[in-house]
Each structure stands twice: as structure tokens, then as C-alpha cells.
Structure 1
Amino acid sequence: MPGDLWDRVSGQLGQPESGEVRTRVLLRGTQYVEAVGLSLGINTELVEQLSREAGVTTKQFAQVWDSPEAFLADLFCELANQAQIDRADTQTLLTTWQYLGMRVDDLRSPEGRRSVLIDIIRTAAEYNFDVVTASSKWRTYAALSTTIMSWPEGEARERVLDALRASEVSFVETMESFYRNVLPTVGYRLKPVFHNDYQPFVVAAASVIEGLGIVRATVPALVEARFDLPILNRGAEATEEWSVASLSFMGVVDAFIEPDPEFVADEATSRLVGGIDVTPQDS
């Protein structure tokens, strides 16, 4: 249906409020980006298509956004806001905490605690890598983080950067809370040189996972390689499979954390039995 005919027919029906128009078109725009990917710009034809599919007229669109570029800035902000949900994969966090409850006996020896830590990293890092980097929202976030830097300086660019910063801060705070709960429970702590600031560790760990996600798009065979490594304290004959993501994540962990000399196993067990919730909460 041509745009002018659509406008005439729609004009005979009830008119949505501007807030509803904005919500409808942004939702349709988000769905469009998730389906076809992120583009650098937007034209009149695409505006008409998205408006039509959202059930609004181009006139109603113009009452909310004075230009396609203004809409694109709002859409990019919406995409940045949504990405934080996918980056802090709730299922990985919850599963890790539940897994610890099954390994309480191993927390009573240094060797057992190291084994628990390795098992968590080996499995959770790979699972998180697969889940997060396969997400359309994460792929959009990664593309947006690069795309926005090509925009000319101005109010629209700064708004999108602010949304990206807010998303990043939210993610870092969620993961910082998670690590502050989990690491002491398995007998580890942040190395003193980092002055109890977990955020550099969070950023480094996330960069490994997300960087490999970007590289996988071009050289999947390298990123998806597997290696059989000896199992701790089980002899050279006993091996287990490690992914590149897990090995890389473990390298970051060992760079930032160390065994806690003041660890008390009974206190850790009480924490696990108490079921402390370290998963992100819906706002």
C-alpha cells in the first residue's frame, strides 16, 4: 500500500498518542535491526516502511521525530539500553551459584577450592560465551559501539554514547556484585594491588568473551577450537576439554585473583545454604 494511501486510511481510525507512536515505531525498528543488522543511516523509504508496519502514519511519525536522523538516534539509544540485559546472562549467574551448593565438601581444602574454581570457569565461561555472543542484542550492541564513533560530534552522538555508557556501567555493577559474592565463597579474593576494586577485573573478563565473539564472525574455526588439558591433581592421564574462551577467561582470573588466606569453609557453607541471591534484579 503506497504511503499516501496508508495515511488516508489510517487517518479515519483512532489516532494513537505520541508516546504510543514512539513506542510502536521503536519496537518495530528494534525488530528490524535484529533481523537485518545495523546500518549507518536511514532513508525516507525505510521510515515509511517501519511506520506502516508499526501501524502509524508518516505524519504521526513526523510529530514525534523531526527527521529520520532523530529517530535513528532514539533507536540507537533503545538498542543500547536493551543490550545490558543480554550481556549479564542471568542463567549463567544463577547456575554458577547453584553449582557451588553441590560442591561444598570440596571447599574444605585448597586443592578442592582450586578444582571448584577451575570447573566453574571452564564450564560457565564457555556457556556464557555461547549464549551472550549468539544473542542478536549483543551483536547489535557490539556493532553500535563501533558505528557510533563514525557519527559527527553533536547532541545525537553524545546521547547514544551516554546510553552505551549507562549500559556498560549497569553490566559492570551487576557482574561486580556477582564476583564479590562468588569468589570469597570459593576461597579466593581480589589481589591486594587492585585495592578491592573489581571493576577492572569485570571489564577484562568481559572483553575476553566479547572480543572472541567478534573474532568468531571471521575465523570461527580458531575461536571454536578445543584442547585436552590435564585435570588438576588427577595425573597426566586424566584430561578434560577446554575451549579457547575458557582458557582465556582463566588467564584473566589468575591475573586478578588469589587464594584467600583467611578463608573459613564453614562460613562459605553457611552462605551457600542460605541461598544468597546474586542474580540481577528486574527494575
Structure 2
Amino acid sequence: MGQDTPGLSGVTRRRRRLSDEETGQRMLGAAIDMVSRAGLTVSLEHISFEDVIREAGVARSAVYRRWPYKDLFFSDLLRELARSATPATDARGEAAVELVRRVAREHLDWLRTEDLRRALLAELVRQGARQDFDTLHGSTEWRTYIALHATFLSLEDGDLRDDVRDALAQSERGFVDRISRSWQHLAELLGYRLRPELNATFETLAGLVLASMRGLAVTALSTPDIATAHLRARPFGATEDAEWSQTALAVASIAFAFLEPDPSVAWDDTRIERTRQALESPVSD
């Protein structure tokens, strides 16, 4: 129902009644904001329906006209959360791209030999995997994403379960696609290719890397040492001992199982200069 509000002249006027669609958008938007701030548990029981109404700033009568029962609202909220689910904030985003560019620029002389290029790839993975894990482990969005998968498993067969499954699958495909493009760009930059005998794709590589990282991140929720444990080591052709996280060791093991130097790439002065320019030029959208 509309409410009276004072106008500029002091005469009250009726506030425009929100449409059913607008009420729905405000309610779902307010609930999603609440989940983004606090994260999602395996259920939606920690989200108060009355709190959502207050935060959305809509009339209770309009809300109950759209959702006569609270369960109907929470079903729609679960669908909306699944559609907008993101596995992690900025994983393989701007910060990750800048890290790759910075580390590679610091070791441009490593581009001249195959052994040093391998060492450079190992160093990029060592630092990048640690940064990606820290982003994932500390991300509210990621914990919500994991909780959505757990919630999906508890849903009974029906339209809601099908809708949530399809939305999560679409989100996962989009995330794997972004990660795979990052790996392909890195491989091409350093003159690497997928091992032909594997008959694999960069999506395969990205999926295994994500599975490994998520498994460690989930375990770290109950075993925090996983997030902080490091080994002093010099694996994968690294030039010197360094601190390797468990995530970095896992990701590098997968990467070097899939990648090998591309024999068609000639590392002459022209190629090295072109790579240097690519690393120093602004990042394109």
C-alpha cells in the first residue's frame, strides 16, 4: 500500500506503489546483499525474512502478495544466488594478471634458455597459486559458492533442484573458461604447449587446477595449517630454494604434467623483444 510522504510544499502526497516486479527485485537484491556481507551457510535459516523486508524498504503486504509463503521467497532467492554465483572474487583477475607481468618483467633474462624459461614458469606458478589460494580462502563469495553446492545436494528432486543445478553448472563453465584462457595466455607467452599425447585442452588443465585448489581450501577450513604450511624446496627446475605452499606444489605438478616447450617457437632476439613488449604494454580489456 502506498504511504503518505511530505512534499516540498508541505502537502503530503502518495508514494508510488511498487509493481510486483519491482518488489521482487528489491527483496531479492536486499537478500543477496545480506548474503554477500555475511556469507551463506548450508541453509538459508540465518536470513530473516522480516530483516529482508526492512532492508528492501518495501511494504509487507506487497511482499506477501508476491510470496504468500516464506518458502516460496527462499526458493526464488536460492535460484537467484545460483545464477549470480561466483567461485571467488578476482581469482585470475587483474591482481593475478599483474603478478604474472611483474614477475616475468623481473626475469626477462630467463627467456633466453629453455631451462630458465621452465624456471620462470615454475616461479610464476609458485607465486600465482599462493595468491589465488589466499583470494579463494578468504573470499565470502567462495564460501557462499561452496554452500550453494552443499545446499543443492540436500534439495529434493524437482524444478528447484533442476534450476539450481543448471545455474551452478553455467557459473562453473564460465569460471573454468576464464581460468583456461589465463593458462593458455601464460603458456603461449613462455613458448609452451599442451602435451599432444594427452589429447587434452586448457579447460581440462583449468578444471584440475581448480579442483585441487578448492579441495585444499575446503580442507583448510577445518585444518588451518594447510593454508600456512610451506616447504623450502627447489622443484620443477627452479633456480634456487624458495617457500612453496602446498597449493603451489599441487598446481605446478598439474601444470608441468600438461605443458611442454613448444618446438615450433624459436627464441631469437625478435621473439624475446616481442615478449618483453607484451609484458610492458597496457593490459587490453
Q: Give the TM bin, normalised by the shorter chain.
A: 0.7 to 0.9
**TM norm structure 1:** 0.83
Moved over 4 A (4+): 7-12, 231-234, 275-279
1:256 maps to which residue? Answer: 258
1:130 maps to which residue? Answer: 134
**Contact 1:73–1:160 (CA under 8 A) maintained in structure 2:** no
Q: How many residues align?
A: 270
Query: What is the 5 A alignment of 1:99-248?
Result: 99-195=103-199, 197-230=201-234, 232=237, 234=239, 238-248=240-250
Deviation at 1:103, TM superposition (A): 3.1
**Contact 1:209–1:245 (CA under 8 A) maintained in structure 2:** yes
Measure, in 2, the Cα distance between the counterparts of 1:133 and 1:271. 33
* Structure 1: gaps of 5 or more residues: 1-6
Measure, in 2, the Cα distance between the counterparts of 1:214 and 1:103. 34
Deviation at 1:68, TM superposition (A): 2.7
Q: Secondary structure in 2 aligned to 1:92? A: helix
Query: What is the 5 A alignment of 1:65-80?
Result: 65-80=67-82
**What's the C-alpha RMSD, in Å, of the aligned pairs?**
2.9
- CA deviation string 1:91-139 (max 9, x = no partner): 2134314433443331121111011101101101000100122110111
Deviation at 1:51, TM superposition (A): 1.0
Measure, in 1, the Cα distance between the counterparts of 2:276 and 2:30. 43
Q: Secondary structure in 2 aligned to 1:115? A: helix
Measure, in 1, the Cα distance between the counterparts of 2:238 and 2:50. 64
Tell me the amino acid that sits aligned with residue 250 of structure 2.
Answer: S
- Percent identity between matched residues is 25
**Contact 2:212–2:251 (CA under 8 A) maintained in structure 1:** yes
Q: Secondary structure in 2 aligned to 1:241? A: strand
Measure, in 1, the Cα distance between the counterparts of 2:57 and 2:123. 50
Deviation at 1:230, TM superposition (A): 2.9
**Contact 1:186–1:268 (CA under 8 A) maintained in structure 2:** no
**TM norm structure 2:** 0.83
Measure, in 2, the Cα distance between the counterparts of 1:229 and 1:187. 25
Q: Secondary structure in 1 aligned to 2:156? A: coil
Q: Secondary structure in 2 aligned to 1:86? A: coil
**Contact 2:88–2:135 (CA under 8 A) maintained in structure 1:** no
Q: Which has more radius of gyration?
A: 2
